[in-house]
Amino acid sequence: MTLAQLKEKYGSYPLVIRVEEYDKEHPVSTIDLMDIYYRTIHDPEDGFKGSPSEFLKQQEQALKNEYLNRYFTSYPKVEVFSYKGKAFRDSELFVNNNPAAYGGILVQSYIPNAPKLDGKFLIDLHTNSKAFATYQKDSVKVHEVNMASYVKDGVLMMEIKDLFNGVLGFSIVGSTMTLNGVELSYYIDGKTVKVGDKTIELAAAIQGGRGQIFVPVRSFCEAFNLDVRVSAQSDVPVIQIANYPQEKIEGIWQ
């Protein structure tokens, strides 16, 4: 069989990983286990001799037992986003309730669950990374920011179209942004926005130019009625933004 025929019959098995620890220029890597199977069966000396299902079972077990633990020792510079299109935590590769896995309980506390309901989303930002993911019920979209976010007076600023890249229903028309039916009015260099009849002060003024709009991430998202939680651990620079309530665990999130 050709690789295309194998994938048509058995499917694809993509594993999507943040790899900035190893490759600063290409922070996201996608490894398809079916591609690996195709290469190994064509190795004349050490090629795998079994069926695709046998190979995939072997590879998945090895990932659970060894390889993913090795990756997570470098978290958050290395992170598994998804496997077969599912959030890693919801996939068959995730080892549940094992305090020895993935660098321990602390790391496991930051691995995202996908939302359970249609129309919900979770944006998982790593403030020192070019890559982040948007999780929805049946999809994981991984993005690389077009321009690196920056910190201004201690406040994380991010380009708005990058931030909401994977979110359906977000739009900008003139000085109005709309998300999930909520309208927010803003102006460049302004520190306040208007949502309905409420005027809300942001942590920093909105910046813009050349078609880009940078916003103070936490206060802007909260003005948009989104739920924001920030890592309480200084060495885990994670912000998670959702359009549903998130659990705030003391010592983990603030």
Residue 215 CA to chain centroid, in angstroms?
Answer: 19
Cα separation of 172 and 165, whole Å? 12
- 112-136 tens-digit pLDDT: 999 999 999 999 998 888 889 999 9
- 23-79 tens-digit pLDDT: 878 889 999 999 998 888 887 676 677 888 898 999 999 998 888 888 888 888 889
Question: Looking at residue 67, what DSSP letter applies?
Answer: I
Please work out, in degrees rounded to the nearest 5, the angle formed at the alpha carbon of residue 106 by the alpha carbons of 135 and 138.
Answer: 15
Please work out, in degrees rounded to the nearest 5, the angle formed at the alpha carbon of residue 88 by the alpha carbons of 86 and 91.
Answer: 60
Other CB atoms within a 10 A radius of the CB of residue 4 amount to: 9
- 135-176 tens-digit pLDDT: 999 999 998 887 677 887 888 899 999 999 889 889 999 999
In the predicted structure, residue 211 carries a pLDDT above the cut 90: no
Q: Which of 27-31, 130-134, 179-183, 208-212 has the lowest average pLDDT?
A: 208-212
| pLDDT cut 90: percent of the chain above it | 59
Q: In this predicted structure, what is the pLDDT of residue 44?
A: 65
Cα separation of 25 and 106, whole Å? 28
Question: For 102, left (φ over 0), alpha (ψ -120 to 50), or beta?
Answer: left
Rg (CA), the chain: 21
The SS3 call for residue 145 is coil
Average per-residue pLDDT in the chain?
A: 90
Instruction: For the chain, give percent helix, strand, coil, nearest 5.
Output: 25, 35, 45
Has this prediction a pTM greater than 0.95?
Answer: no
Reported as type and span, the H/E element at residue 220 is: helix 217-223
Token pair for residue 168? 């359906």
The SS3 call for residue 12 is coil
**Contact call for residues 44 and 27 (beta carbons, < 8 A):** no
Cα separation of 148 and 61, whole Å? 36
- How many residues in the chain? 254
Token pair for residue 148? 């690196």
